[in-house]
Each structure stands twice: as C-alpha cells, then as structure tokens.
Amino acid sequence: MDFNFTEEQEILRRTARDFLAKEFPKTLVREMEEDPIGFRADIWKKMAELGWMGLIIPEDYGGVGGDFMDLIVLFEEMGRACFIAPFFSTVICTLPILSAGTEEQKKEFLPKIGRGEMILSLALTEPSATCDPSGITTKALADKDGYVIDGTKLFIHDAQVAHCFLCATRTKTEGSLEDGITLFLVDGRSPGIGIEVIPTVAHDKQCEVRFDGVRVPRDNVLGEVNRGWDIVEFIIQRGSVLKCAEMLGGVEAVLEMTNNYAKERVQFDKPIGSFQAIQHKLAQMLIEVEGLRYLTYEAAWHISTGIPSNLLVSMAKVRANEVYQRTCLDGVKIHGAIGFTKELDLGLYFLRTKSSEFTLGGGGFHRERIACELEQLQPPFLR
C-alpha cells in the first residue's frame, strides 16, 4: 500500500489549508461557537464553488468524481483548522445515497448537495446514545400513503440547519435486533419535526430532534425496507474513519502550537523546550500522532480500494479517541497556567475531544467490535 498523496491531493491539501486560514480564523470559530445557529452561508457557498460538497459525487450527478482518500485529505485540514460547518453531517449521508440510493434519489439529491443547496443530518442515536441496533426505537408505521415516523433522536449534529434527515427507524419488532431497521430520507421542513439545540461544552450544535407523526413517502426509503442496518454499518465504517482524519488534523495543530510554545517560553533563562521533561513529553506526542496518522491512512486506504476492514476502522477510532484527548491534555500541561484559559487556541481543540470521541461510537463501542473481529481472526501469532 502507498500512503503518498497524489499531486492532485497535495494541491487539494494546500488549497484547503490556505482557504481555511483566510476564511476561517480562530476569532470566527469563537463567534460561531456562541451563535445559536453556528452556520455561515457565505463560507458554505465558497466551499461549494471549490467543489468540496461534490468532491465524492460522480461527475454524472454534477460532482467532482473524487475518491475516499480525497475526503481524508480535506477532513484532516478541516480538523487542523477547528472548522465548524455541517460538512461531516452532509458527507456521511451522501455516501449511503451513492451506495444504496435509487437512480431517482441520486438525481434528486446529489446535484443539490454538490451545489451546496442541501445540507443533510444523520438522525441515528436516541436517548440511549448507543450506535447498536438496540438503540433504534423510533417507529415508522406503514399506511396507504407511505410511512409515519414517531420518536425522538438525540445528539444529532447540525439538525438546526438541515434540509433533510437520514433517519434510522424500526419498521419491524420481531426477529433479531438488526432486522426491521429502515432508513428514510426525511424533508427537514415536514410537519411534526421539532428541533432543539442542546448546550454542550464544545458548542458543537448537537440537537434533539422529535418526530411526531411525520409522514414520509415510500419513495424516500433508502435501500430496502427492514434491511437498513447494513447501511448503518456502512455509515459507521466510513464516518468513523473520516472523524479519525479530522481528529488527526486537530492533534497535528495542537502538537505544532505546543512545540512552538516550548521553543519560545523562557524559564530559568532557557526555553522550556530545552528541559528533558518537556522534550520527552513532546517526543511522545509526536510518536502518538504519527502512529495515529498511519493507522488512519491504512483504514482509509482499505476503504478506497474496496476492501474495508472493520478491525482497522475500530482500531483507528479507539486510537484517535485516546490520542486526541491525551495530546490536548499534554499540550495544556506544557503551556502551564495559560493553557487553561479560553483565549488560547489550544482550548478550542481540547473542548472537542469528548464530542469527537462519541461520534459514531466511543471507545467501549469500538473495543467491542474489535473483540468480535478478533474472534474470527486467525493471524499467525494466534495459531
């Protein structure tokens, strides 16, 4: 496997870094955190003009026709910039439309997404907060005109600006927990939808979304009725790796700013970076960041080549959860007292560690998946 980026991907990286540095300074991050909507339509439009919204969408549907590794490049830069936008939410809903949508659904949704005219949000988790099939209790009952959805979704990212929800429901109660799950593309303006932004430490616009007798036509079923869990697995797999790339960009930024501070901060007439205790901590941070980089790239490479590995995906997510939090904490310690202030950019990343950890499964969820994969794995060292 070759983890070197192509010339086009390097151009995408440089373009993204320059654009985000110019259009999305940390002062704007702080403003958007305090904004109850937390969305800048002008920046979103510029992103669409750069082709980012349609990066993974085929040219036949008005997109750029890129691949999964292109998304990894972009998400890494967005994580580095501490970017706030419903981009992650939209992408993880776009991917299953590409994979499981009908031709009519692709023609209806993909061009609008590519032009930046449609924002999507994944309505998966409920009050149990689990990504397991047992957590899906929102019901969708069939009637003569389609389906009626009733239930509450919790911790739904960017619902306050979503034009459409990809909603996971239970359409059958008998059988295994994986059976009877159906995904619907639900118009965000449908009568019966109530949205409330939940206050969080990270100010990351997670919402409670209530579906009260929301009617959805049969044509808006994504995939097959009662067979939606396979699509949820698809979303968890791809979305987890994209979130790992975003966290990787975040830890890169934290390591860079901490290393620079250690060179500049003088104590006892010497830069604190000359002290062995600081040097060893920075060295360990670098080791962990580089380890996360290659684990993330390997999981992404397997997906991009059509041989996804659930084991690698969960390993990367567990590692990203740990490295992001530990790197931010060590960065705060090296900065000393100033590291605990809100004014320092480091704090913007630190506040996002928990939100990123539990997006599409926390450590416990992915460790359980690793254990299940190991039961079926027989590498040489286990024989």
Per-residue pLDDT at 338: 87
Res 378: pLDDT: 67
Report which of 281, 290, 228 is spatially closest to residue 259, judged by C-alpha positions. 281
Q: In this structure, are 351 and 257 located in the same domain?
A: yes
Mean pLDDT by 10 residues, the chain (383 residues): 86 97 94 91 96 96 96 97 96 98 97 97 94 95 94 96 98 90 97 95 92 97 96 97 98 97 93 94 97 96 94 97 96 90 89 93 94 79 49
Yes or no: say if 63 and 110 are a contact pair by the CB < 8 Å rule: yes
Can you give the pLDDT at residue 383? 47
Residues 366 and 235 in one domain: yes
At residue 205, the pLDDT reads 92
Q: End of a domain among 93, 119, 145?
A: 119
Q: How many domains are there within the chain? A: 3
Tell the burial category of 264 from Cβ atoms under 10 Å away from its Cβ (0-12, 13-18, 19+).
exposed
Q: Around 6, how many Cα atoms within 13 Å sit in the side-chain half-sphere?
A: 9
C-alpha to C-alpha distance for 357 and 317, rounded to whole angstroms: 8
179 located within any domain: yes
Q: Across-strand partners of 212?
A: 150
Quick one: 285 and 357 in the same domain? yes
Q: What is the CATH number of the domain that holds 247?
A: 1.20.140.10
Instruction: Examine the domain organization and report whether 199 and 243 are in the same domain.
Output: no
Same domain? 86 vs 130: no
Same domain for 154 and 246?
no
Q: Of 119, 152, 175, which one is at a domain's C-terminal end?
A: 119
Domain that holds residue 207: 122-226
Please answer whether residues 70 and 53 qualify as being in contact, where contact means their C-beta atoms are separated by less than 8 angstroms.
no
Q: Are residues 352 and 378 in the same domain?
A: yes
Taking every pair of Cα atoms in the chain, the longest distance, rounded to a whole number of angstroms, is 80
pLDDT at 1: 67
